A = this chain, B = another copy of it.
Amino acid sequence: MRVDGSPGALVDAADRGLAYAHGVFETIRVWRGKPVYLEEHLLRLVRGCDRLGIRTDGLVERLRRDLDAELGSAGADAVAKIVVTAGPGARGYRYDPAGQLTRIVSILPYVADVDAATSGIAVSCCATRLGLNPALAGIKHLARIEQVLGAGEILPGCVEGLMFDIEDYVVEGTRSNVFAVIEDELTTPRLDRAGVEGIMRERIILQEGATVRRITRAELLGATELLVCNSVFGILAVTRLHVGSDVVTLPFGARTRDIASRIGFPQSA
């Protein structure tokens, strides 16, 4: 782990990332020693900083150096995590953009917790609702309490939990985005009020085309294919969806298989 460019694992206890969640993060798959979709991740990180008022002069160059230094000692298959915060500060919400920010770069083991491409996965529905928050929607910021609560509600045997907003539209998984084939159309939730705009989601929309709109719970349950995706585990077909005590069975559909094969993401180690 590297903090502000030097080997280390400690940060100032008054860091604004800890005090106020004032920062962003990226979680990047490392495959054959290289970070996958690195440019997209860095671009999203900079955009997130811009929305949170964090100055990014020289940031990307520094992060590249941090990553290079850390990757040297990493295995071929791993996960890189980048955290950028508004840095240490005095008490109080008011932020001085001239202040020093904090960079934390670490390489973590890639845990293949899902038997990906072959069999499909089981997913449950979380009880915790995502709030409606247009000012922060889309950003991968550090305020992730809802996802923590959601992750604690995932049923045993399920590898992901779907989260709905307070108006009962499906938004995303706790750590993934979701696509559904609804009336033959590849569809994914609009993320203008809640949710994280995932890199893999963006790739799929750009490459495959998709209808981006609100999706009701009933529409989700009537989908003919369902997949979750993120830029660590790639694309996973959902073949069992737990809704309360009911289980909906879905096929490992042709559409999902085609998308996964065209995206060509390293599905398993």
Contact = CB atoms under 8 A, between A and B. Distances in A.
* Most chain B CB within a 10 A radius of its CB, from A12, A13, A85: A13
A122 to B, nearest CB: 16
Chain B CB count within 10 A is highest, among A135, A147, A150, for A135
Contacts of A170: none
A79 interface: yes
A20 B131 contact: no
Contacts of A99: none
A135 B141 CA distance: 18
B145 A141 contact: yes
A251 interface: no
A52 interface: yes
Most buried by B among A81, A148, A151: A148
Interface in A22-78: 22, 25, 27, 52-53
Contact of A22 (B3, B17, B148): B148
B83 A20 contact: no
B142 A20 contact: yes
B151 A21 contact: no
A171 to B, nearest CB: 13
Contact of A144 (B21, B27, B53): B21
B132 A166 contact: yes
Contact of A93 (B8, B106, B147): B147
Contacts of A13: 1, 3, 8-11, 83, 104, 106
Contact of A148 (B9, B95, B106): B95
Nearest to A11: B13
Contacts of A8: 13
10 nearest A-B residue pairs (beta carbon)? A131-B133, A143-B143, A93-B151, A21-B21, A20-B144, A10-B10, A18-B18, A94-B151, A21-B143, A131-B131
